[in-house]
Structure 1
Amino acid sequence: MKSFFTTYKWFAIAIIFLALGSCQDDFTDRAPEDAISLDDYYSSDEQVASATNGMYSRTWFQFENKFFWAVAEVGSGNMYTGSPDVNAMRNFSLNGSDPELVNGWSSLWANVAQSNAIINFLEARVGPAVTDEVLQNTIGEAYFMRATAYFYLVRLWGPVPIIENNLNFTTTPNINTNRVEDIYTFIEMDYKVAIEKLYEKTRTANYAQNGHVSKGSAKAMLAKVYLYKKDYTNARIMAEEVINSGEFKLLGGDQLPSKTFGDLFTYAHNNNEESIFALQWRGDGNYGSANNCNTQFGISTAEVSTSNASYGGVFAPSQDIITAYSASDVRRKETIMLPGDVYPNVKVTPSGTLIVPSADDIGGQGAGAAIKKYCIGIVNGSVTGPVDAWAMMDNNTYIMRYADLLLIHAEAILAGGASTSDAGALASINAVRNRAGLANLTTITFDDIFKERRLELCFEGDYWFDLGRIPRSQAISIMAAQNRGDRNNAQYFTPEEKDFLLPYPDNDVAKNPLLTQPPVPYTFN
């Protein structure tokens, strides 16, 4: 997308693009683009329900492909890379001409534009056979997606324009940014509409039914928004509504003891009981429909490779995160691969089971370790699912899962205090810890929760945002102390205040100089 200042043509493209999704929840049956008519496509419940399918994958691709990891994980100090296209945040040198910055920005605005198309125009384009329940749920999904896109935009860039209908700006491409507090209000309003409109669900072992978001998904995301606003009362209320609903469960927790933390990141467990919102990848022969993580992470040498491509291991664990896990924490092996680790279910080339080679031979970025999360190995039937022509695969990417919600609940109860021994807070954090093989805590502080969030959600894109919501001096101190080099060359970089928000893309600033002007209040209808 060239810019977020769109024309009417964007709306037509958006509707066509969104209609590419399947009429099924698993996105496997996509209609051909040239067979879609804007006048008669939405004549059935199945067609309306499929309208958002593309928004669970392709609209997010350029955000998730490299940008997300390059900013949220390399930037936070969890990941290391020397690859020049994704390493600017390692030393805080990202600028407005960076191609991946442009990709991430454009992808988020694509989500906003396409959400707006559904919110504003879908209802007028449905036939009489479409039931209102299905229509409202689909519109609710669009509100959810718009809120989620804005939640990333405001945390990454700060003030951005609030756009509710892209057609309002076809002749006025110069748009003011709006205040951060107004953007958070807008996000909150959108999630509340989503809660009202979306289906209520219970996540079961029938994973094919779990792909789309629900009332519980919107409540969980809203709890996270409240946490960022330090509205601890409402964060707790929302979190407890989700917990008490029983919709989600921890894999490997008391309710699902036969499953494990490691199962979360396998193809077979796409849309599992813990998944609150995940990007749904499905290779269909088109670039940007599947997940590139198996190539970007893992090991790629002549002797051992987990990649289906001729390259791999673009990202690696940082030296800082390699030493962060205790020996008894089962999450370490499912998050970071160290020399000697064995993974019986991961197949590698030239052949055989993955036995992680020595630190000298692990390849990739010279980190002496590799990333296990989202690394599922060379294509291996139903274990990995298929691989497309770009070596991309169909395993989901989490935006939020239930463990995150439980830690939000504990922090909301703490509510900025020095410590708590509240039974509810302890139950939530200890559920996460027990699954990891760790002992119960009897009292918790913010530092306990902050550490647990890093270890639990490592390589899932949260640590950068957690660092962004603590006192700036504390975040700078943490990041300045991180070894941001490889295992042979320690390097340290100290961020400045300006580095916690990203620059606007140069091209968009040139088209809309108001981006760099002070934000203005937003007028809510």
Structure 2
Amino acid sequence: MKRYIFIAIFAIVTLATSCEKFLDTAPTDFLAPETYYTNETQLTTALMAVYSEMGNINEHTYSRFLSIEAPGSNDEEWYRSSTAITTPLYNTDAAYSRYIGCWQTIYSGIGRANALLENIDKAEGSVVVKNAIKGEAMFMRAYYYFVLVSYWGDVPLVLNTTKSPENTDVERTPQADIYKFIIKDMTTAEGLVYDVTTLGNPGRVSKTTAEGILARVCLYAAGRLNDATYYPQARDWALKCMKSNKHSLNPDYRQIFINHSADRYDLNESMWEVEFFGTNTGTSREYERFGSTIGVINNATDATDNVGFMQGTYASTGTLFNSFNSSDLRRDWAIGPFSYTASQGARPIIPYANTFVWGRPIAKWRRDYQPKPQVKNFGNTNWPLLRYADVLLMFAEAENQVNGSPTTDAYDAINMVRRRALGTGNKVATIAITNGGSGYTTVPLVKISSGSLPGGINNSATAYATVSGGKVTTITISSPGAFYGAVPTITFEGTTGTGATATATIIAINPSDANLTPSLDKFAFFNALKDERSRELCFEGFRKLDLVRWGIFLETMKNMEITVNTLAPVAAIGTYQGRVATSLAYKNATSRDVLFPIPALEFTLNSKLTQNTDW
């Protein structure tokens, strides 16, 4: 830690621009702390420096590593390669560059927060403004430690700037004490930071954001420390956030992620985001890389392409796909039900057959919605750190634990999330063939009309046809969709055959159909809650950490290895090599992978460090 903690004292970093975002303020170059921190403008710039490490341009935090690599392969997603050395394949060692990069970047953010907190009182300015900045700096320092304790366990707790590079040998503090510090400082910060309506954007920490993250910290502490006394705290923080009446669920699940990509705010649901700006070719320095890594594969490199370049490095599992009900609108948005054709421009889509459930692309964030022009590998999609749906699910989990069985309030919270997943209005009930047509040698695409969204998704109803004797003989509804105000028109699209026609009927959606089975005991409700978290929050970076805090990470990974090798046929994945890649992470995972290793380089900088077990 010598290098980056020491340097942080003497620098207020150069920061990137961001479109009408908190990071828009211009940097002031490099200044010593003795001559800085004198007014509100300088304090705000220093606070920006604390936040900026969340989107570090070297991809060590949420621009790539913490968003998609650190969560690893799990029962939601897997890494497509079978040869790479990378965190998602659980085949790295302590010298892996991403570990040292993340560790150093997080401690850099901590060092910047320490410097700001040590100097804030000497600045002139409004007490209200200074208190809010102090609260945000305290919260961010605590949050950085939350990241460290989540991935590394015991870590050095450094709460002052290091005046000399000779005084950086610091022992690891037990994680129980780290959690106590995090909760203490976040609690203080919650009383100082601005209300969300005052801030007006989710890029900074508001009072309700602090409450929601405190609920998460307490749940993690309860699990990781095996200490049930944290459950009431988690419940109370989540409840305080809910009772603020500042937040609500977006009625359309898809719109949450469209907003992230389109650079639009939704303060009701999306409570805290890491903000990125990466659409200015050759000039952007606050970009993200996950947006070109997790999505529907597209090899276009032209900035004018309507879809945008996509590596599709990660894929979804059949386990996740099969956990959804066909009426659940989240399934075909989070998990792409299609691939693109090779042509550029409008990018016609090819729907997957319902038998292909292993290896579908992750499609929550779609580059179709990013502002143009696009840069091949870089994007501006904001990364969600806290959504109101998560607050509801955390409350339900903690309430169940506190009371020994699910209360009415716990049911209400989880059912709000489940009901949103059904949508509102009408759904497609039936599709009947009125004329099978003739000459169909290939299966045509079933098109269901509606007000469409870019990216090949409409009001979510999907169906597929079967052909026999040159005629369309059956149509199977794979998802009934939602939000229909009128009966949709059914048409067929393909390169062979003509004359097939069909008609649809719709039926009103009954929200109570989504409700969880009543009268469950504590354990049945908890199991349902675990599955609901996966369906709602899949690919948002929580699954591995959830599995670890529940004590079922290794069990889940080994069950996935069996599932892939016995229940996921080669045809469902694509190739034998595809199945090898799918199962590799599950095969490699061991008990050591509950935590990352302390980076090897750190042992040359801090003689008092010890290594995590089995690393």
* Same-fold call, TM cutoff 0.5: yes
SS of residue in 2 equivalent to 1:371: coil
Q: Which of 438, 443, 446 is the aligned partner of 2:526?
A: 446
Which residue number in structure 2 is paired with residue 316 of structure 1?
315
C-alpha contact 1:409 1:428 (8 A) present in aligned 2: yes
Q: Deviations over 1:140-181 (max 9, x none)?
A: 111111111111111111110001013156322221101110
Matches within 5 A, 1:179-258: 179-202=174-197, 209-230=201-222, 231-252=230-251
Which residue number in structure 1 is paired with residue 469 of structure 2?
none
Which residue number in structure 2 is paired with residue 482 of structure 1?
560
Distance 1:193 1:357, change over 3 A: same
- Alpha-carbon separation, structure 1, partners of 2:370 and 2:30: 31
Matches within 5 A, 1:70-469: 70-83=68-81, 88-124=86-122, 126=123, 128=124, 130-167=125-162, 170-202=165-197, 209-230=201-222, 231-252=230-251, 260-263=255-258, 265-283=260-278, 288-302=285-299, 308-309=308-309, 312-339=311-338, 350-352=344-346, 355-356=349-350, 368-377=359-368, 383-386=369-372, 389=375, 391-415=377-401, 419-420=405-406, 422-437=407-422, 439-441=514-516, 442-444=518-520, 445-469=525-549
- Alpha-carbon separation, structure 2, partners of 1:111 and 1:287: 21
Query: How many residue pairs get matched?
Result: 485
- Alpha-carbon separation, structure 2, partners of 1:435 and 1:25: 30
- Alpha-carbon separation, structure 2, partners of 1:53 and 1:356: 44
Letter in 2 for 1:469: R
Q: Deviations over 1:167-226 (max 9, x none)?
A: 1563222211011100001111120121121112348xxx95443211111111111111
SS of residue in 2 equivalent to 1:514: coil
Distance 1:116 1:326, change over 3 A: same
Q: Which of 25, 28, 43 is the aligned partner of 1:48?
A: 43
Which residue number in structure 1 is paired with residue 506 of structure 2?
none
Which residue number in structure 2 is paired with residue 497 of structure 1?
591
SS of residue in 2 equivalent to 1:93: coil
- Alpha-carbon separation, structure 2, partners of 1:259 and 1:303: 24
Which residue number in structure 2 is paired with residue 470 of structure 1?
550
- Alpha-carbon separation, structure 1, partners of 2:24 and 2:273: 19
C-alpha contact 1:213 1:277 (8 A) present in aligned 2: yes
Q: Deviations over 1:478-504 (max 9, x none)?
A: 211215695434324163322201111
C-alpha contact 2:17 2:285 (8 A) present in aligned 1: no
Q: Deviations over 1:433-488 (max 9, x none)?
A: 111116112245111111111111111000111111113xx332221121569543
Q: Deviations over 1:379-398 (max 9, x none)?
A: xxxx4225565642222101
Which residue number in structure 1 is paired with residue 465 of structure 2?
none
Q: Deviation of residue 65 (structure 1)?
A: 3.1
Distance 1:82 1:440, change over 3 A: closer
Query: Any stretches of 5+ residues in structure 1 without a counterpart?
Result: 343-347, 378-382, 520-525
Segment of structure 1 superposing worse, 325-334 or 449-458: 325-334
- Alpha-carbon separation, structure 2, partners of 1:72 and 1:454: 17
Distance 1:32 1:263, change over 3 A: closer
- Alpha-carbon separation, structure 2, partners of 1:76 and 1:308: 27
Query: Any stretches of 5+ residues in structure 2 without a counterpart?
Result: 223-229, 423-512, 566-572
C-alpha contact 2:54 2:274 (8 A) present in aligned 1: no
Q: Which of 487, 509, 518 is the aligned partner of 2:603?
A: 509
SS of residue in 1 equivalent to 2:295: coil
Percent of matched pairs sharing the same residue = 25
SS of residue in 2 equivalent to 1:63: coil
Letter in 2 for 1:337: G
Q: Normalization by structure 2: what TM-score?
A: 0.70
Task: Give the strand-richer structure, 1 or 2.
Answer: 2
C-alpha contact 2:263 2:370 (8 A) present in aligned 1: yes
Q: Deviation of residue 308 (structure 1)?
A: 3.8
Q: Normalization by structure 1: what TM-score?
A: 0.82
- Alpha-carbon separation, structure 2, partners of 1:9 and 1:50: 17
- Alpha-carbon separation, structure 2, partners of 1:4 and 1:85: 35
Letter in 2 for 1:352: A
Q: Quote the RMSD (CA, aligned, Å).
A: 3.5
C-alpha contact 1:414 1:425 (8 A) present in aligned 2: yes
C-alpha contact 1:319 1:487 (8 A) present in aligned 2: no
Segment of structure 1 superposing worse, 502-511 or 317-326: 317-326
Distance 1:353 1:308, change over 3 A: closer
